[in-house]
Amino acid sequence: MMRSMTVLRLLLTLMLFCVFTQADDQLGPTVQTAQIKQGRLTGEFRDNSDSPRILSGVQSLINHRDAPGFDAYDPEGRKSSAGLNFEHIISGHKNDNNKFTPRHGRYTLHQLPGEKSVRLVRRAEDSPWKVASTLTYTLVAPHYLDFEFRCRATDAKLFGERGWALFFFANYMNDVADAAIHFRGIEKPGGEETWIRGDAPGGHPDWNTGGTYRHVDAAPLEYDDDVKFRLNSWSYDFPRFTKPVYYGRAEREMVLILMFDRGHTPVDEMRMSLLKFKLPRHPRPAWDFQYVVHRVEENREYGFRGRLVWKKFVSPEDCLQEYEQWRSRLLR
């Protein structure tokens, strides 16, 4: 029995190695930029070759019917203009690599077959954390951008005794009507689920222009006393979200909705972040999110799926309905 388990583990490791080390020609051509149009949306995607001057991920996203010429993302912010941008890998111990490591190093962009998808690929040897990862973007008519993140750590010891890993993704928005994010959640222990306007107020000792909301079942992340880069690791005790979906109101009566295939599990969880470092000078918040692996295991694959919606705002209930419809399709 033990021998069978060992063989199975070796086969799984080999399979994961093959997935994360595909030749470029198997993935499709390597490109610096790619433009995709589906339905009402046109998205421009970039690799890491000019980062951090120009960030990787979604460089621009335009809904030609609902807001012609209006980019969802900040078109002017130097070093802070992108969407679904893989920005940090963070641990619970002091480490210079807790800040901005995905912005540096080789991170190739590949045009996938079908002309609807692109994929960013990072090899473990190009990551200071020895984490291989892929980030796939797919435009879906009429106004959806689906995304999937997969990762594998080849040296779990780098995440220290606490063992958790936080993967941080940024959305640097263009002008918005309201800087807050809105989600279903509870205001206090035992409270009823309701719509909550999360405006990331100050008060926490590690607050720095914003904060993070966690799931109702999630515990706070613990980190060493000598950790200095804390703004993305701490979270509000309350309110907490109950469903893994939130929206923000942009200018031109537009709404950005972000939803995920999980909220909290024994293995991993999602968190929602709002940072306001450009406010009040510019009405351009960062509507960010985090993916947390509770204890990293070597050569185990982790990841999540999500959907971004960029369309005219109808109502909070319509935003929730978008999530429920997407979730029901995932469960089929």
E strands along the chain, which residues? 30-31, 33-38, 41-46, 57-63, 85-90, 108-111, 117-122, 131-140, 144-153, 165-170, 181-186, 194-198, 210-213, 240-249, 254-260, 268-275, 286-293, 301-312
Contact in structure between 248 and 311 (CB atoms under 8 Å): no
Give which of 111, 268, 277, 247 is closest to 177, Cα–Cα. 247
Residues contacting residue 327 through CB under 8 Å, at least 6 positions apart: 259, 261
* Entry field: residues in the chain: 332
Query: How far are the Cα atoms of 116, 144, 151, 249, 310 from residue 139, in angstroms, in the given order?
Result: 6, 6, 22, 21, 11
pLDDT, position 26: 66
DSSP sequence for 22-57: --HHHH--EESEEEEEETTEEEEEE-STTTTTS-SE
CA 234 to the chain's CA centroid: 17
* Spatial separation of the C-alpha atoms in residues 168 and 170, rounded to whole Å: 7
Give which of 292, 304, 299 is closest to 21, Cα–Cα. 299
Considering the domain 29-330 in this protein, what is its CATH number? 2.70.98.10
Q: Using the Cα atoms of residue 39, residue 309, residue 178 and residue 324 in order, give the sign of their dihedral.
A: positive
Quote the tokens at residue 157.
């010891």
Structural domain boundaries in the chain: 29-330
* Spatial separation of the C-alpha atoms in residues 221 and 233, rounded to whole Å: 7
Quote the tokens at residue 263.
């909220």
pLDDT, position 3: 54
Query: How far are the Cα atoms of 57, 119, 130, 132 from residue 150, in angstroms, in the given order?
Result: 15, 11, 14, 8
* Spatial separation of the C-alpha atoms in residues 304 and 258, rounded to whole Å: 13
Give which of 101, 108, 104 is closest to 123, Cα–Cα. 108
How confident is the chain (332 residues) per 10-residue block, as mean pLDDT? 46 48 63 97 96 95 98 89 96 96 95 94 98 98 98 98 98 98 97 98 95 98 93 96 98 98 98 97 97 98 98 98 97 84
pLDDT, position 61: 98
Q: In DSSP terms, which residues pair with 165 in a beta bridge? A: 293
pLDDT, position 17: 47
